[in-house]
Amino acid sequence: MTLENLREKIDEIDEEIILLIKKRIDMCPMIVEQKLKNKMKISQSKREVEILEQRQRLAIEAGLNPNTIEQIFRLIIEESKEVQKKLIDEQMNGEEK
């Protein structure tokens, strides 16, 4: 396999990763609906800790650096919270009109 072939494979894998992140972010409207229904805050510290610990364990099992995986998931969680905040703001502004 040539370097170009390997790079193409990496590009394909990166595209899959992005699509999976999008799939996760696409769940935000349903999450917001449940959080509003249950009068919950956007930020759920206990849940975030659980996610990060579990993802670190999965990283170790996969032979990956758990600290790197934690950083990646911190970014994903932050993006998810930003999307949720935006959705709530849009809902609140829509109700005011």
Q: Interior CA angle at 55 toward 53 and 59, to 5°?
A: 115
What's 80's domain CATH number?
1.20.59.10
Q: Which of the 8 DSSP states describes residue 66?
A: H
Give the helix ranges, DSSP H, for the chain: 3-25, 28-37, 45-61, 66-96
Provide the number of structural domains found in the chain: 1
pLDDT at 96: 58
| pLDDT tens readout for residues 29-75 | 999 999 999 999 999 999 999 999 999 999 999 999 999 999 999 99
Mean residue pLDDT of the chain comes to 95
User: Range of 85's domain?
Assistant: 3-96
